[in-house]
């Protein structure tokens, strides 16, 4: 391509950006044809599109709420350059905030727990963030997320003037997805989106998408994909090893959202789904996106012919190479050998065609 020719995608022209923040959002929406058999051929039964949020500068969908919440705190005067932000994160918000705080001269203290991916922790540090790692679950609830939030409260008391952006209840979190993620999906698809699949943690993503759908009189069916062991939307508390999806307490934001459907997925299904997406579409995504693929497989047969479906790819798979993409980790942590994993992948494909999943892993 010559220097003067437009980029192949045409998504962003060659003009320079004033600030890296301007590169947040505007992520590609890509048609998937190979993930499931129903998507392929001359007259595919369904259209499926993936919103590639891993192509944000921070590598995940969390760039949007991080920027929105930080800018909101700065604009309101609650936070000033030179101030301190203390936030709890499973990783992605931490990376996004570390970058945004560095760019605004704000000190950033990130409270994480032992489930954080090692490369994610290293990235937060490399961007100047300070890590506080919680290793023991909260004694009252047995939950690591609750332990993280309690540690945030302690730090806020210890550090004068420190500010917590409270991603679990901050309206700027869903607003970023209402005005960004869902607006972009809807505009790209002429406002005809029959179903949207998003994984949930704070529920900022799905809540913001729901707000856009409501404000624009769309009929999009909102499917929340949650982890087994998450207490969101009436779930029962249990062990969760994978970061990014689910919550150990009912978030303030989740009280304002009513998805049309909640699909719960276990860790083996997340792993099989992520591997299926990588092998069949060449999209290397994180565990929660694998969960979305598994949820899609299960629910695809119930979607009417001709449906146009969108799913969020919340983050990329590189930080998960030593977990969901590592056979040894999967064997040790999930008790699944290569054959079991292969069966789980086949089960997903069978489920997407409405066939009985012989291994029951779908
Ligand atoms: C990996 C991952 N999965 C799922 C989500 C959805 O989380 P939330 O409900 O907090 O928007 C996120 C958040 O951006 C994420 O980073």
Which domains, from first to last, does the chain contain?
20-55+179-349 (3.40.50.1100), 63-158 (3.40.50.1100)
3-class DSSP state of 221: strand
3-class DSSP state of 240: coil
DSSP conformational letter for 253: G
Residue 199, beta-bridge partner list:
225
Residue 9's pLDDT band, with cuts at 50, 70 and 90, is low
C-alpha of residue 206 to centroid of ligand 1, in Å? 9
pLDDT of residue 243: 80
Query: Does residue 205 surpass a pLDDT of 50?
Result: yes
Q: Which residue's CA is the nearest one to ligand 1's atom 10?
A: 202
Q: Phi, psi (5° rounding) for residue 294?
A: -65, -40
Query: For 68-76, what is the mean pLDDT?
Result: 96
pLDDT of residue 86: 97
pLDDT of residue 240: 83
Active site residue 51: no
Query: Does residue 12 surpass a pLDDT of 60?
Result: no
Which stretches of 219-348 are assigned E, i.e. beta strand?
Answer: 221-227, 261-265, 308-313
pLDDT of residue 7: 53
pLDDT of residue 91: 87
Query: Does residue 274 surpass a pLDDT of 60?
Result: yes
Count of CA atoms in the C-beta half-sphere (13 A) of 219: 4
- Annotated catalytic residue: which of 62, 104, 183, 240? 62
Query: Does residue 143 surpass a pLDDT of 90?
Result: no
Query: For 301-313, what is the mean pLDDT?
Result: 97
Burial of 255 (0-12, 13-18, 19+ CB in 10 A): exposed
Query: For 147-173, what is the mean pLDDT?
Result: 95
CA-closest candidate to residue 277, choices 295, 262, 261, 260: 295
- What tokens appear for 338 in the block? 């290569």
pLDDT of residue 334: 94
The total number of residues written for the chain in this structure: 362
Helix (H) or strand (E) holding 84: strand 84-88
Query: For 137-152, what is the mean pLDDT?
Result: 88
Residue 8's pLDDT band, with cuts at 50, 70 and 90, is low
C-alpha of residue 93 to centroid of ligand 1, in Å? 9
Ligand 1 within 6 A of 117 CB? Answer: no
Query: Does residue 106 surpass a pLDDT of 90?
Result: yes
Ligand 1 within 6 A of 120 CB? Answer: no
Which are the contacts of 156, defined by CB distance < 8 A and separation ≥ 6? 86, 162, 164
C-alpha span between 82 and 84 (Å, rounded): 7
pLDDT of residue 361: 39
pLDDT of residue 3: 46
C-alpha of residue 4 to centroid of ligand 1, in Å? 38
pLDDT of residue 13: 63
C-alpha span between 285 and 323 (Å, rounded): 12
Contact indicator for 344, 361 with CB cutoff of 8 Å: yes
Ligand 1 within 6 A of 245 CB? Answer: yes
Contact indicator for 326, 242 with CB cutoff of 8 Å: no
Q: Phi, psi (5° rounding) for residue 244?
A: 105, -30
Residue 224, beta-bridge partner list:
198, 262
* pLDDT tens-digit series, residues 222-261: 999 999 999 999 999 888 888 889 988 899 999 999 999 9
CA-closest candidate to residue 134, choices 111, 104, 118, 152: 111
Task: Ligand 1 pocket test: pick from 27, 92, 175 the residue with the most ligand atoms within 8 Å of its Cβ.
Answer: 92
- What tokens appear for 83 in the block? 């101030």
Contact indicator for 353, 301 with CB cutoff of 8 Å: yes
Residue 11's pLDDT band, with cuts at 50, 70 and 90, is low
Residue 41's pLDDT band, with cuts at 50, 70 and 90, is confident
C-alpha span between 260 and 197 (Å, rounded): 11
CA-closest candidate to residue 193, choices 223, 211, 220: 220
Strands 47-52 and 29-32: antiparallel
C-alpha span between 273 and 291 (Å, rounded): 6
- What tokens appear for 310 in the block? 């969108």
C-alpha span between 280 and 241 (Å, rounded): 25
Residue 95's pLDDT band, with cuts at 50, 70 and 90, is very high
C-alpha span between 212 and 209 (Å, rounded): 5
What mean pLDDT, rounded, does the chain reach? 92
Q: Which residue's CA is the nearest one to ligand 1's atom 9?
A: 203
C-alpha of residue 66 to centroid of ligand 1, in Å? 12
pLDDT of residue 242: 85
pLDDT of residue 31: 98
Which stretches of 105-240 are assigned E, i.e. beta strand?
Answer: 107-113, 130-134, 195-199, 221-227
Q: Model pTM? A: 0.93
């Amino acid at each position: 391509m010559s220097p003067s020719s437009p980029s192949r995608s045409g998504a962003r022209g060659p003009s320079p950006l004033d600030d890296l923040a301007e590169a947040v959002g505007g992520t590609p929406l890509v048609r998937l044809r190979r993930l499931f058999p129903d998507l392929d051929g001359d007259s595919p039964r369904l259209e499926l599109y993936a919103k590639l949020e891993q192509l944000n500068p921070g590598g995940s969908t969390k760039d949007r709420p991080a920027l929105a919440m930080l800018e909101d705190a700065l604009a309101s005067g609650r936070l000033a350059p030179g101030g301190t932000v203390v936030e709890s994160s499973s990783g992605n918000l931490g990376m996004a905030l570390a970058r945004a705080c560095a760019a605004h001269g704000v000190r950033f203290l990130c409270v994480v727990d032992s489930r954080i991916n090692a490369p994610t922790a290293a990235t937060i540090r490399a961007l100047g963030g300070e890590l506080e790692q919680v290793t023991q679950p909260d004694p009252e609830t047995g939950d690591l997320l609750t332990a993280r939030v309690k540690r945030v409260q302690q730090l806020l008391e210890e550090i004068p003037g420190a500010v917590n952006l409270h991603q679990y209840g901050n309206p700027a979190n869903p607003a970023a997805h209402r005005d960004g993620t869902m607006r972009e999906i809807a505009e790209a698809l002429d406002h005809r989106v029959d179903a949207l699949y998003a994984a949930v943690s704070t529920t900022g993503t799905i809540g913001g998408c729901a707000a856009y759908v409501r404000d624009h009189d769309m009929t999009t069916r909102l499917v929340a994909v949650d982890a087994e062991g998450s207490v969101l939307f009436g779930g029962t508390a249990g062990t969760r090893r994978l970061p990014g999806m689910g919550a150990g307490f009912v978030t303030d934001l989740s009280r304002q959202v009513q998805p049309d459907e909640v699909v719960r997925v276990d860790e083996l299904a997340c792993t099989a789904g992520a591997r299926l997406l990588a092998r069949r579409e060449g999209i290397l995504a994180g565990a929660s996106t694998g969960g979305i693929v598994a949820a899609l497989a299960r629910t695809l047969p119930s979607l009417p012919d001709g449906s146009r479906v969108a799913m969020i790819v919340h983050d990329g798979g590189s930080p998960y190479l030593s977990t969901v993409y590592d056979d040894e980790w999967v064997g040790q942590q999930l008790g699944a050998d290569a054959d079991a994993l292969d069966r789980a992948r086949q089960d997903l494909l069978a489920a997407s065609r409405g066939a009985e999943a012989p291994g029951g892993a779908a």
